[in-house]
Chains A and B, each alone.
Chain A
Amino acid sequence: ETGVTQSPTHLIKTRGQQVTLRCSSQSGHNTVSWYQQALGQGPQFIFQYYREEENGRGNFPPRFSGLQFPNYSSELNVNALELDDSALYLCASSLNQGTYEQYFGPGTRLTVT
């Protein structure tokens, strides 16, 4: 196992609602990245946080936002949920910003109805 945990495992929400997904990084890791994997696609980069600051962002609208806490755990928040937001959301932690290795959690499966 990678030591990265995510909660919840599964979640069902209604269109228009808001959702918060959580990620606990591997011990000592100060960088976390979030990815969205839609059905039949590879994971798509959402954003990365380094020492509580957003460090880079993919092609996702502003209703996707995040937080990283002093203990380096992280949240992904999605507002105004749309049906297309249904996907597996993965977080990955790395030792620091410049480290190659990213260690993934098992993901949160979000279903929007």
Chain B
Amino acid sequence: ILNVEQSPQSLHVQEGDSTNFTCSFPSSNFYALHWYRWETAKSPEALFVMTLNGDEKKKGRISATLNTKEGYSYLYIKGSQPEDSATYLCASRASNYKLTFGKGTLLTVNP
């Protein structure tokens, strides 16, 4: 993996469904992995920053895991709500300053 890749590109789920997305990133020179939630016309909102292999973080119904050896992170949303509709971006940090972003996963939660 040379770049940060996210899948799927877009996702439609029904209210109440649980869902998950994948972020793949270069495992060499790894420094940190960021997840952002971005609603249209708003600022990207930081969800998680993870640095350690095996790290798991949780914020309400949203959680994330990190595998730095194989270069992937999963973001899980339990019991999706319409207000969860947004683009979810992941970004890998391989140095002290530069974030390399994926293209994002667009989640639409239908009521």
A residues touching B (Cβ–Cβ < 8 Å)? 1-2, 4, 31, 33, 35, 40-45, 48, 50, 55-56, 58, 90, 97-98, 100-107
- Which of B95, B96, B98, B103 is close to A42, meaning CB atoms less than 8 Å apart? B103
Task: Establish whether residues B46 and A40, one from each chain, have CB atoms under 8 Å apart when the complex forms.
Answer: no
Task: Establish whether residues B89 and A42, one from each chain, have CB atoms under 8 Å apart when the complex forms.
Answer: yes
Task: Establish whether residues B99 and A103, one from each chain, have CB atoms under 8 Å apart when the complex forms.
Answer: no
- B residues 34-52 near A (Cβ < 8 Å) are 34, 36, 41-46, 49, 51
What string of 1s and 0s marks CB contacts (under 8 Å) between B83-97 and chain A?
000000101010111
- Say which size band chain B's interface belongs to: 20 to 34
Chain B residues with Cβ below 8 Å from A35 are 99, 101
Task: Establish whether residues B97 and A42, one from each chain, have CB atoms under 8 Å apart when the complex forms.
Answer: no
Chain A residues with Cβ below 8 Å from B49 are 100-101
Task: Establish whether residues A42 and B42, one from each chain, have CB atoms under 8 Å apart when the complex forms.
Answer: no
Chain B residues with Cβ below 8 Å from A33 are 97, 99
Task: Establish whether residues B42 and A45, one from each chain, have CB atoms under 8 Å apart when the complex forms.
Answer: no
Chain A residues with Cβ below 8 Å from B51 are 100
- B residues 66-89 near A (Cβ < 8 Å) are 89
Could you jot down 16 A-B contacts, CB within 8 Å? A2-B43, A2-B45, A4-B43, A42-B4, A43-B89, A43-B91, A45-B98, A55-B97, A56-B95, A56-B98, A101-B46, A102-B34, A103-B43, A103-B46, A104-B44, A107-B43
Shortest CB distance A19–B (Å): 21
